Structure 1
């Protein structure tokens, strides 16, 4: 997509029309951070592979903290996926992560169950 000026123009047009552009799976496999300034992205979702060991591994904490810091300084909304426990959620919050998703908050729900979950959820 980075090689296609037409695709980049189309993304720019979507942003102008109010769409939010999200980059999924950041940090999974090969991630070239140089493209971050080329694509008109609003939200970057950090892959669970970078989040899963944050509570238990100092190296993972250092990596996550610095990635979140860098993305925030570049004015992105940062979303972490794969948050499985309260400790990981708190660490990410302390690092400045904007949003999180994972089984700690909820397992997948049938649409009819969402209102009850929203009313009962402390989040």
Structure 2
């Protein structure tokens, strides 16, 4: 019986047949035993299913066309294309208490008791980053 040592993905783990994992059967033949590991063989290459890759490519193309159409629309009405949203956002955290939150991570980067001071801190962090 030939054994395949290449790992087979099973959820988060990979099933491999190792010679040390083979146990003798009652009649003297070896039985195959699967060992679950969370490591991948160095020779095994992770590839995406072609259908998923195709869907991702289609979404990427549609996203690009959408950005082009939005830019064309703003050009028609004579307005500048809006830039990226601000990275640091001021959120109310209680009565007269404001958090300055990093919109990428969701972490609080500072706090102030006055809204104007919190906005100034957000601008300062924006310039710093």
Task: Give the structure-1-normalised TM-score.
Answer: 0.29
Q: Quick check: which has more Rg, 1 or 2?
A: 2
Tell me the TM-score normalized by structure 2.
Answer: 0.28
Which protein is richer in helix relative to its size?
Answer: 1
The structure with more strand, counted as a fraction of residues: 2
Q: Return the structure number with greater relative CO, CA threshold 8 A, min gap 6.
A: 1
